[in-house]
Amino acid sequence: MTQRVALGVSYRGDGYLGWQSQPNGRTVQDALEKALSQFADAPLRTICAGRTDTGVHGLNQVVHFDTDAIREPFSWVRGTNRYLPPDIAVQWCAFPGGDFHARNHARGRRYAYLLLESAVRPAIESGACGWVFRPLDGDAMRAAVRYLLGEHDFSSFRSAECQAKSPVKVLRAIDIHRRGAYWRFEFDASAFLHHMVRNIMGCLITVGSGLKPPEWMAEVLAARSRQAAAPTFSPAGLYFLGPYYDAPLGLPERTAAMDWLP
């Protein structure tokens, strides 16, 4: 009997070439599938809720796969983690039913960007946060955000390698908070284009640094051209908080690492 299994996975992305499997095997998907196959004693392939790029971290990446290896949820978690490197760990396991699809059934996705504002670069948190040396104006950045909310063509924030069928997405919220020297930006959307968050971050930092007024964000959006926006910002501080689904599925939307971020 085949069973569909869903897992929540956390990982640090700075040691990997992104999520998606590659021939060299140095990706998060490759490491996870190798561990799952060792634990289940059979080859297993996963489908994820949202692919992340090189250097991007995941706090609640959701995957699903089908298997005839019958295990308890805690066994999938502990057994798989036994074969995973220290910077990747399964957080939870659920059995959502045979028609569940980690990507197609997601109602939305969330990202967070952690940014250090400091005259000197990060050391201990290197690779885990972005960095700016100029002081940032939070009110200006929040004013710029208002032009992006809602359903828009986000072509100005889309990489040339993006494979999405449409650049039109619904950006539901961008929240900006500060704790000491750290800024935290949270993004909630129906889906995201390739590099969309990092390109928006580049524009927000341009506004926050006083190089452009908040109204400039509306001009960038209306241009529908990548050339109109700021350069793509560093992946170091980007965290995929994960997808969210209809409540009856009962899939967790939080992991412990979410309390670790400032």
Q: What is the pLDDT of residues 114-148, one digit of tens each?
A: 999 999 999 999 999 999 999 999 999 999 999 99
> Rounded distance, CA 8 to CA 245, Å?
13
pLDDT at 45: 97
Tokens representing 252 are: 């967790």
Quick: pLDDT tens for 6-55.
Answer: 999 999 999 999 999 988 879 999 999 999 999 999 999 999 999 999 99
pLDDT at 106: 98
pLDDT at 1: 83
**Cβ-proximal residues to 224 (8 Å cutoff; 6+ apart), any chain:** 153, 155, 156, 167
> Rounded distance, CA 214 to CA 203, Å?
10
Quick: pLDDT tens for 87-114.
Answer: 999 999 999 999 999 999 999 999 999 9
Over range 170-174, report the average pLDDT. Answer: 98
Quick: pLDDT tens for 187-204.
Answer: 999 999 999 999 999 999
Tokens representing 172 are: 């539901």
pLDDT at 24: 82
Q: Which residue has the tokens 């494979």?
A: 163
Closest alpha carbon to 238 in 112, 62, 59: 112
Which residue numbers are catalytic? 53
Tokens representing 78 are: 């502990």
Over range 216-241, report the average pLDDT. Answer: 97
- Among 19-28, 167-176, 203-212, name the one with the lowest average pLDDT: 19-28
> Rounded distance, CA 95 to CA 6, Å?
6
Over range 224-235, report the average pLDDT. Answer: 97
Distance of CA 232 to the CA centre of its chain: 15
Angle at 214 between CA 208 and CA 220, to 5 degrees: 105
- Number of helices and strands (H, E) in the chain? 5, 10
> Rounded distance, CA 86 to CA 10, Å?
11
pTM: 0.96
The CA-atom distances, in angstroms, between 51 and each of 69, 114, 205, 208 are: 26, 19, 25, 29
pLDDT of 56 above 90: yes
β-sheet bridge partners, residue 184: 114, 177
> Rounded distance, CA 55 to CA 130, Å?
11
**Cβ-proximal residues to 245 (8 Å cutoff; 6+ apart), any chain:** 105, 106, 107, 251
Mean pLDDT of the chain: 97
pLDDT at 25: 78
pLDDT at 142: 98
DSSP structural state of residue 209:
T
Distance of CA 191 to the CA centre of its chain: 11
Closest alpha carbon to 237 in 202, 194, 188: 202
pLDDT at 180: 97
